[in-house]
C-alpha cells in the first residue's frame, strides 16, 4: 500500500482511487480548455465535434486508469486467478473505450468526407444514402 491514512486497507484504496480520478480529471479539464481555445481558431467544426464526442469516453478512460492503478494496491486475499480475472476485465474495458474513441474519430472524418463528396455530385441518390 502506498499510504495508510485510516488503517483500513480498502478505505485507503478508495481514497487513492477518488484522488487519482480527481487529479486526472483536473489535468484533463485544463488540457481540454487549452484545446478548446486552439480549435476555436480553426475554420471547420470537425475538431469541435471530435472534442465534443470524445469527452465522455475519455472521462470513462480516466476512471478506468484510476481503477487499474488502485487495483494494484488491493490484495484481495483471493486466488491469483481472481486477481488476474479482475485485471483482465479492467484491461478489456480500457481497450473497448479506446476502440470507441478511434471509431468515433474515424466515423466523423469519413461521414464528413462522404457528405462533401455527395454535395459535389449531381445525383440525389448520394444525399439519400448519406442521410441513412
Instruction: Give the per-residue pLDDT at 99.
Output: 95
pLDDT confidence tier of residue 128, bands split at 50, 70 and 90 = low
Sign of the CA dihedral with 86 first, then 87, 92, and 95 last: positive
Kindly report, residue by residue over 11-70, the tens digit of the pLDDT.
Answer: 888 888 898 899 998 998 898 888 888 877 777 777 778 888 888 888 899 999 988 888
pTM of this prediction exceeds 0.85: no
Instruction: Give the per-residue pLDDT at 71.
Output: 80
Kindly report, residue by residue over 71-99, the tens digit of the pLDDT.
Answer: 877 766 667 777 788 889 999 999 999 99
Sign of the CA dihedral with 32 first, then 36, 37, and 38 last: positive
The continuous run of DSSP H or E covering 65 comes out as: helix 46-71
Amino acid at each position: 500500500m502506498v499510504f495508510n491514512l485510516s488503517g483500513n486497507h480498502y478505505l485507503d484504496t478508495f481514497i487513492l482511487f477518488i484522488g487519482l480520478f480527481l487529479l486526472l480529471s483536473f489535468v484533463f479539464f485544463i488540457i481540454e480548455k487549452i484545446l478548446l481555445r486552439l480549435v476555436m481558431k480553426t475554420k471547420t467544426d470537425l475538431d469541435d465535434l471530435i472534442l465534443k464526442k470524445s469527452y465522455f469516453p475519455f472521462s470513462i478512460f480516466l476512471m478506468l486508469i484510476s481503477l487499474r492503478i488502485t487495483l494494484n494496491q488491493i490484495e484481495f486475499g483471493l486466488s491469483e486467478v481472481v486477481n488476474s480475472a479482475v485485471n483482465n476485465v479492467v484491461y478489456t474495458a480500457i481497450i473497448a473505450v479506446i476502440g470507441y474513441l478511434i471509431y468515433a474519430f474515424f466515423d466523423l472524418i469519413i461521414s464528413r468526407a462522404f457528405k462533401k463528396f455527395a454535395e459535389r455530385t449531381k445525383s440525389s441518390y448520394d444525399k439519400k444514402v448519406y442521410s441513412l
